[in-house]
Amino acid sequence: MNRRAAVGTAAITFTIALAVGAAAPAFATSPVDGDHRVPYCHATHSETNPYVFIETDKYAVVRAHAKHQDLEDVYPGFWYDDHGTPTWMDGRGDAAFAENGCTSGGIG
């Protein structure tokens, strides 16, 4: 009986992993300008490490990062696909700061 339960659990786990992996691309934006990712500096509110360099799908910046951390995240402006419509997202702060991995500059 234990072997059947183990095989059943493994099959269910594999099926869930397969379904999640197949669905992941559905949440990514379509490239508008050749790339669907954007580099940005995520504000941490830490005195010793105020920003962390992150690169995610543009949609993640539009939906989440542009609206939190007291609006301190720094990112360049970019085009993204808003349900089939190319849309411009204004950048915040010094674009070179984000494009250089959060190594100089900042909110400007």
Task: With CA atoms as reference, report the closest residue to 86 among 13, 15, 30, 20.
Answer: 30
Model's pTM, two decimal places?
0.61
pLDDT at position 53 is 92
pLDDT at position 14 is 41
CB atoms < 10 A from the CB of 32, how many? 17
pLDDT at position 7 is 39
pLDDT at position 15 is 40
pLDDT at position 3 is 58
List the chain residues with pLDDT less than 70.
1-34, 65-66, 69, 104-108
Enumerate the domain spans of the chain: 29-99
